Amino acid sequence: MLTKKVLRNVVVAAAAMVTMPAMAQQNYKTDSATIKNIYNNALTSYESYENLRYLTKNIGARLSGSPQAAAAVEWSRQVMEKMGLDRVYLQEVMVPYWVRGDKEVGRIINSKLIGSQDVNILALGGSVGTGENGLSAEVVEVKSFEELEKLGKKKVKGKIVFFNRPFDNTHVITGAAYGGAVDQRGGGPVAAAKLGAIGVVVRSMTNDIQDVPHTGGTRYEEGVEKIPAAAISTRGAEQLSKLLANDPNLKFYMRMTCETLPDVLSYNVIGEIKGTEKPDEIILVGGHLDSWDVGEGAHDDGTGCVQSIEVLRLFKDMGIKPKRTIRAVMFMNEENGLRGGRKYAEEVKAKGEKHIAAIESDAGGFTPRGFGIDGNDGQYAQVLTWKPLLAPYGLHDLTRGGGGADIGPLKGQGTVALIGFRPDSQRYFDYHHTEIDTFEQVNRREMQLGAASMASLVYLISEYGLSGNGAKAAK
Amino acid sequence: MLTKKVLRNVVVAAAAMVTMPAMAQQNYKTDSATIKNIYNNALTSYESYENLRYLTKNIGARLSGSPQAAAAVEWSRQVMEKMGLDRVYLQEVMVPYWVRGDKEVGRIINSKLIGSQDVNILALGGSVGTGENGLSAEVVEVKSFEELEKLGKKKVKGKIVFFNRPFDNTHVITGAAYGGAVDQRGGGPVAAAKLGAIGVVVRSMTNDIQDVPHTGGTRYEEGVEKIPAAAISTRGAEQLSKLLANDPNLKFYMRMTCETLPDVLSYNVIGEIKGTEKPDEIILVGGHLDSWDVGEGAHDDGTGCVQSIEVLRLFKDMGIKPKRTIRAVMFMNEENGLRGGRKYAEEVKAKGEKHIAAIESDAGGFTPRGFGIDGNDGQYAQVLTWKPLLAPYGLHDLTRGGGGADIGPLKGQGTVALIGFRPDSQRYFDYHHTEIDTFEQVNRREMQLGAASMASLVYLISEYGLSGNGAKAAK
């Protein structure tokens, strides 16, 4: 399977180069030099890294609806205002406002082996609280929804369900391991409540064995009891599982005072450079401005935001006048609602704007590996014609399928290609949604290589469009 | 230039695939499955990471000749003894024994702007001391040896020469930036002493602006006065340079009590699995066991050592019986003498051993990007035929030129291909030769992906040899 895929990609790439439109061939030298200058500029600039420092250290965690999220909106607006862009504006969006309340308490109680002991938990975003007194109950451990179903109401009623399916560490791309486990976090509380459970504990979504719990969004369903749900650290999960094997009747105590407050008015923050030849054709580059309420939201997704602003800075600083319009968008509320992404797409539709490509950076500020392209065959083939320009910078993985949560709602509007920036994935889930997703974990060069990669792709699309017509022969 | 190179590589790769020997084609499925299993095993194993933890946390820094280096020899011998290999042995080698002495003092004195202030310095490895009282002198700053020559004896005599050429951060591969600056550290003291200088301060070899100084080896020359030489942190260098611009007559004080003690008997540590079909054809995989005397020698080169042992563990654990002999070598004294590498090559020659490939991991335990191959055209083309098997794991950079310091002395012995493992380079010089090169900076998955990459290449060479004959048509 891998052979065929790799062989086909090489053959497609080789064919694409051979059949590259004459114009592209002619401009190869110019494009190559421009891209080299983009990387040179990014690698020697500290502005974007200082932006990240401000966003993470001075503003910090910024969950939708929080004062910090409001500060991040105003800060990013000001940063872009100072850049002398053609337009900077806010787009109103009502967002949910969930607050964590007191620090959570998670406790194994009356275990035969260790007695009582606290373990690290974090309420899942959107969860209801336990009430002031907390709740305690016996625990049933499951690895899957099928296993839970088999246990049935009789064995689940009145209990806490402990979802403990770990990441499959054999996946080279960690996102695939996340994809194979995150259903427990999103769907666990509803599935457990349907069988009468009174609480849920979910193993943290990480490759690592750590003490730090990972929060993240969960969902409730109309007509199903809303039960409190928390993430437990992977080390805590391993311990709880071992204790349960010895002592199935031990109890778990959890106390969480989180709650959902009324919606709050917030904003997507948008800055743009107008295209000189086709200003109506828009290339979006973006990340999300909100983060979870723990840590500093550095890799998720502070880096995506400052990289998107950096793309505009690079064009301005180098005096590149793009033929098409480049728009940087800091989306609000990716983490617990996606309201910003949805609102943005609605507005695009209402205004009849034409987006030809949307690139999202929401996988961390790590060394770039490539882009995932969700577009038609011609668009994909066209991006492959640029591989010789991008591969020298480590951008080898130009694969089909991509995009990002915030740009997802744009799908199907005209022929917009949705493109996900793909950095190296190994460390992302060590930090994701935790108190250790901090500025210190971001390496300036890795982040700047990412910004330069995005700027280079934006530059090529702004020069040649992304209709895919010119490259159709290459398929 | 990039076009041609990239195009040629793609064409060579495509041609290589088309002309792949029939046998190789036939075994593609098996090889692909074996390599997948190698990665699966490595990504789910914690043994090698625990080895690194022991080497870095329990033994720690281990400069040649030190008790810690002796402990590392015995520890790695025991680790391999327990693995049930076909042979584990030590190879005697006399090594230099340099000791740092007291913590160094570096001080800007009598600056008009700030008065006196301490700055972070580290003696360069091999440097002579300053004597108990230290030395102080005016400072001349230069960016190059040409600049130093132009100043001449008159302006240099009795002074401290401050070499302050920074890394060129526009290099995407940080090793290239290192290569463009490290001549100052190695050759600075001799060049300065020839003009009558009494001391040398060298800007630390790093991309980053940091407070931590980076040590590293320097050289003296017969007949040239040996003067004390220290590295200053990059932040200290920036400050000193600014102060000098305002106040060329400020003085610098340095005190170092380092000295070179008599040579010590030490060892290369070697373990091997005998080949089933061609036991006389040896594939070497190695790193260096010694480190600088600050920090923990984690990325430099604890990871290279435990990865080399991990290659053997993977073969044993998976029950792969290699056709050719696989030998893991922990070299001694890479950092300040290369005596281990030289001794090893002498022994190979004396015994008439046939090495067909030598792979060194000495660029950190980061996510793998590829291998650099220093071999003949046929050998390079043969490695390229394996690209479809390796690229799915991010090993895209199969480039010419490679090797490593310890395997360098093997060059020219038969047709041995010298191969350097190439991990992502962005963070390496943040930690290199400093007190912050610690276990905490190593990500288990990144390191294990590297070990699996090395094991996969070793597996392919053990199956097919590396004569390059089968792939000559592919050139």
Is-contact A53 A292, C-beta < 8 A?
no
Average pLDDT of the residues in B226-232: 98
The answer for residues whose C-beta is within 8 angstroms of residue A458's C-beta and 6 or more apart is A283, A285, A311, A322, A326, A359
Q: What is the 3-state secondary structure (H, E, C) of B15-79?
A: HHHHCCCHHHHHHHHHHHHHHHHHHHHHHCCCHHHHHHHHHHHHHCCCCCCCHHHHHHHHHHHHH
Closest CA–CA distance from residue B19 to any residue of chain A (Å)? 13
Q: Does A172 score more than 90 pLDDT?
A: yes
Q: Output the pLDDT for position A474.
A: 37
Q: Does A395 score more than 50 pLDDT?
A: yes
Average pLDDT of the residues in A290-298: 98
B339 is a domain residue: yes
End-of-domain residue from the set A207, A231, A257: A257
B139 in the same domain as B72: no
Q: Does A30 touch chain B (CB under 8 A)?
A: no
B303 in the same domain as B198: no
Q: Does B261 touch chain A (CB under 8 A)?
A: no
B368 in the same domain as B411: yes
Is-contact B334 B125, C-beta < 8 A?
no
A337 in the same domain as A456: yes
Chain B CB contacts of A449 below 8 Å: 172, 426
Residues comprising chain A, all counted: 475
Q: Output the pLDDT for position B111.
A: 84
Give the tokens for residue A278: 């086709």
Q: Does A4 score more than 60 pLDDT?
A: no
Q: Output the pLDDT for position B475.
A: 35
Q: Does B19 score more than 80 pLDDT?
A: no
Q: How many CB atoms lie within 10 A of CB B120?
A: 18
Looking at the annotation, which residues of A are catalytic?
Answer: 334
Q: Does B26 score more than 80 pLDDT?
A: no
B74 in the same domain as B126: no
A8 is a domain residue: no
Q: Does B296 score more than 80 pLDDT?
A: yes
Q: Is A142 exposed, middle or buried (0-12, 13-18, 19+ CB in 10 A)?
A: buried
A134 in the same domain as A267: no
Chain B CB contacts of A424 below 8 Å: 367, 394, 424
The answer for residues whose C-beta is within 8 angstroms of residue B464's C-beta and 6 or more apart is B23, B24, B382, B470
Q: Output the pLDDT for position B22.
A: 46
Instruction: Name the pLDDT band for A26 (thresholds 50, 70, 90).
Output: low
Average pLDDT of the residues in A246-265: 97
Distance CA A196, CA A194 (A): 6
Instruction: Name the pLDDT band for B265 (thresholds 50, 70, 90).
Output: very high
Closest CA–CA distance from residue A405 to any residue of chain B (Å)? 25
CATH number for the domain including B253? 3.50.30.30
Q: Does A325 score more than 80 pLDDT?
A: yes
Q: What is the 3-state secondary structure (H, E, C) of A72-127?
A: HHHHHHHHHHCCCCCEEEEEEEEEEEEECCCCCEEEEEEECCCEEEEECEEECECC
The answer for residues whose C-beta is within 8 angstroms of residue B19's C-beta and 6 or more apart is B471, B473, B474
Using CB atoms, pick whichever of A3, A172, A394 lies closest to residue B393: A172
Residue showing tokens 């949705």: A418
Q: Does A380 score more than 60 pLDDT?
A: yes
Q: How many CB atoms lie within 10 A of CB B321?
A: 13
Q: Does B226 score more than 90 pLDDT?
A: yes
Nearest residue on chain B to A28, judged by CA atoms? Answer: B3
Q: Which residues pair with A325 in a beta bridge?
A: A282
B437 in the same domain as B341: yes
Q: List pLDDT tens digits, range A182-197.
A: 999 999 999 999 999 9
End-of-domain residue from the set A201, A226, A257: A257
Q: Output the pLDDT for position A392.
A: 96
Q: Does B40 touch chain A (CB under 8 A)?
A: yes
B82 is a domain residue: yes
Which has more pLDDT, A162 or B110? A162
Q: Which residues pair with B330 in a beta bridge?
A: B269, B287
Best interface-test mutation with A: which of B19, B31, B41, B43 has the largest number of A CBs within 10 A?
B43
What percentage of chain A reaches a pLDDT higher than 90?
91
A32–B17 C-beta distance less than 8 A: no
Q: Which residues pair with A273 in a beta bridge?
A: A326
A90 is a domain residue: yes
Q: List pLDDT tens digits, range B439-454.
A: 999 999 999 999 999 9
Instruction: Name the pLDDT band for B402 (thresholds 50, 70, 90).
Output: confident
Looking at the annotation, which residues of B are catalytic?
Answer: 334
B7 is a domain residue: no
Least confident range from A153-157, A402-406, B270-274, B312-316: namely A402-406
- Among residues B301, B355, B298, which one has the least CA distance to residue B333? B301
B350 is a domain residue: yes
- Mean pLDDT across chain A: 94
A372 is a domain residue: yes
Closest CA–CA distance from residue A43 to any residue of chain B (Å)? 6
Q: Does B394 touch chain A (CB under 8 A)?
A: yes
Q: Output the pLDDT for position B24.
A: 53
Per DSSP bridges, beta strands A278-288 and A324-331 are parallel
A5 is a domain residue: no
A219 in the same domain as A76: no
Give the tokens for residue B386: 């394996």
Per DSSP bridges, beta strands A368-374 and A417-423 are antiparallel
Is-contact A251 A135, C-beta < 8 A?
no
Distance CA B105, CA B120 (A): 8
0.90 surpassed by pTM: yes
B225 in the same domain as B155: yes
CA distances for A298 relative to A210, A226, A359, angstroms: 19, 31, 19
B113 in the same domain as B88: no
A32–B6 C-beta distance less than 8 A: no
What is the DSSP secondary structure assignment for residue A57, as one 8-state letter?
I
Q: List pLDDT tens digits, range B41-90.
A: 999 999 999 999 999 999 999 999 999 999 999 999 999 999 999 999 99
End-of-domain residue from the set A228, A257, A286: A257
| Structural domain for B185, as ranges | 103-257
Q: Does B78 touch chain A (CB under 8 A)?
A: no
ipTM exceeds 0.85: yes
Helix, strand or coil, per DSSP, at residue A405: coil
Q: Does B22 touch chain A (CB under 8 A)?
A: no
Q: List pLDDT tens digits, range A53-101.
A: 999 999 999 999 999 999 999 999 999 999 999 999 999 999 999 999 9
Q: Does A118 score more than 50 pLDDT?
A: yes
Residue showing tokens 């090489």: A10
Instruction: Name the pLDDT band for A1 (thresholds 50, 70, 90).
Output: very low
Best interface-test mutation with B: which of A17, A170, A299 has the largest number of B CBs within 10 A?
A170
Q: Does B17 touch chain A (CB under 8 A)?
A: yes
Q: Does B208 score more than 80 pLDDT?
A: yes
B94 in the same domain as B188: no
Distance CA A204, CA A213 (A): 6
Number of domains chain A is built from:
2
Instruction: Name the pLDDT band for B474 (thresholds 50, 70, 90).
Output: very low
Q: List pLDDT tens digits, range B408-439.
A: 999 999 999 999 999 999 999 999 999 999 99
Distance CA B247, CA B241 (A): 10
Instruction: Name the pLDDT band for B97 (thresholds 50, 70, 90).
Output: very high
Least confident range from A163-177, B8-22, B251-265: namely B8-22
Tell me how far the alpha carbon of residue A441 is from its chain's centroid.
16
Distance CA B194, CA B197 (A): 7
Distance CA B450, CA B38 (A): 11
Using CB atoms, pick whichever of B10, B28, B369 lies closest to residue A394: B369
Q: Which long-range contacts (CB under 8 A, 24 or more apart) does A110-119 make?
A: A110/A250, A110/A251, A111/A243, A111/A247, A111/A250, A112/A246, A112/A247, A112/A250, A113/A243, A113/A246, A113/A247, A114/A243, A119/A232, A119/A233, A119/A236, A119/A239, A119/A240
CATH number for the domain including A389? 3.40.630.10
B214 in the same domain as B318: no
Chain A CB contacts of B397 below 8 Å: 394
Distance CA A282, CA A273 (A): 10
